[in-house]
Structures are given as structure tokens and as C-alpha cells.
Structure 1
């Protein structure tokens, strides 16, 4: 299983405004609410008390503040530890992660222009940066 990075979790928590982001987050929160594989997660006395975090509190904290890298790291750590101790959880987490990556925006781009004549440059694509447009119209200003 590829480790789920804190940056990926923060990006996912920050995408809760989109339908795909909400669905992926709901899948993760449902997964962390599942009971532990008790054999690996019981305390030294075998009293049934998990000795590691389920990830539920960390997920709730990150959803409340997706920009906080410490919250994202706490969730990534909780998921990693739980996956290391619980084989069933690890398999389910890997399955969820594969679906989340497949559903994340990052591949196809769908552009649409409507509404008549456009009065300016129109760019279609994805991930633009450092663009500058000279939007002056008419005659150039006289030199002073």
C-alpha cells in the first residue's frame, strides 16, 4: 500500500465543497469508524481497549481546519499505525485510497465558453501559472 501523505489528506479535506471530495471524505470517515481488528489493537492486558487511535478524532479535527498541516499529519500517522496493526483495515484503506485517487480531479479537463462574444483572451486548459496579459486598448499613452 502506498502511504497516504498528510498533503493528500489536507487536499482531500480542503475539497469538501465538491461532490467528489464529500464522497471520498465520507468513505474515509466511515472506514475509521469501523471497529478495530481486536487481535492487533488490544491492550497488553487484553481488556479490549484499543491502544492506538482509530483516526476518527484526527479526521474530525482536519475537517474542521483543512489548512492545518499538523492535523493532516496526525491523521496520516493514525491511519498508518492502524493499517500496520490491522490487516483488514489496511486492505480497506488501500481500496478506499485507490478509489479516492481515481476520483480526484487531475486528469480530464472540460472547458466551456458560452454567452456570446468574449471581450478578452480566453484560455482553455488546466494548471496555469505566471500568466500576464497586456489589456491596454486604444492609442498608447504619449511619452512624457
Structure 2
């Protein structure tokens, strides 16, 4: 299972994603507050964090990536010891990835004028090939 993205945790704690982001943050809190159903030895459970303290700390200082990293680590450790939590966390991650946090956001706009030729708009292009010759420009 992939660790929870620190960038995503910081964004959600900071209120990114509007209502959907708020719901994702609330559902993460509910997941963290579930009781342990561990498969490891009981002394492991007493010495590890449920993630709740890290969740609260990040909520209090949402722009702190170190707090988000601590929460991500606590979630990963708990997921490794609690299969039910791991399944819930994986489901939460799939839903949380749909939240638009603005990470890598792009804005494309074309306005006014006359344009000849192809226009490509988007984000994160790679491996592109154009085999169409450019349209010759005419002067007015």
C-alpha cells in the first residue's frame, strides 16, 4: 500500500478541495478514531500511535509538512498492523485522490486574435511528436 501523500494531507488539513476536501478530512478522522483490530503482539499496539495525535497536530498547524509526514507515517504503521484499517485507509485514499487540491494546477486560455494551426492545452505532457508541418504565416 502506498503511503498517504504528505502534500494531500497538508492540502486537506488546510481546507483545500472545498466541501469535498472537508468531507475527506472528516472521514480520515473517523477512520483514525476506529478501535484497533491488530494482528501483531499487544505490546506493539501499546507503543504505537493510532494516528489521532498526529491528525490533531496537523489540524492545528496545517501548513507544516513535518506534521503531515508524522501523520503519514503513523497511518502506514497502523495499516501494516491492522488489516481492517488498511482496507479502510486504501478506500479513503482512492476517494481522497478525487479531491482537487490545486497541486500542480494549470490554467490554459486563448482569447482574441486569429490563430492558424494546432493548439495543445493541458498539463504534464511528455513523449509528444508532431508530424504536421507548421502552417505558413501570412502577413496582413
TM-score over 0.5 (shorter chain): yes
Task: Name the counterpart of 1:67.
Answer: 63
Moved over 6 A (4+): none
The whole-number CA distance in structure 2 between the counterparts of 1:55 and 1:31 is 10
* Helix, strand or coil at the partner of 2:96: helix
Match of 1:127 among 106, 128, 135: 106
Higher relative contact order (CA 8 A, sep 6+): 2
Q: TM-score, structure 2 length as denominator?
A: 0.67
* Structure 1 alignment gaps of length 5 or more: 108-125, 130-144
| Cα 1:98/1:10, change in 2 over 3 Å | same
**1:41–1:86 CA contact under 8 A, matched in 2:** no
Task: Name the counterpart of 1:28.
Answer: 28
Q: TM-score, structure 1 length as denominator?
A: 0.65
Task: Name the counterpart of 2:111.
Answer: none
* Structure 2 alignment gaps of length 5 or more: 109-140
**1:82–1:89 CA contact under 8 A, matched in 2:** yes
**1:83–1:93 CA contact under 8 A, matched in 2:** yes
Instruction: Report the RMSD for the aligned CA atoms in angstroms.
Output: 2.4
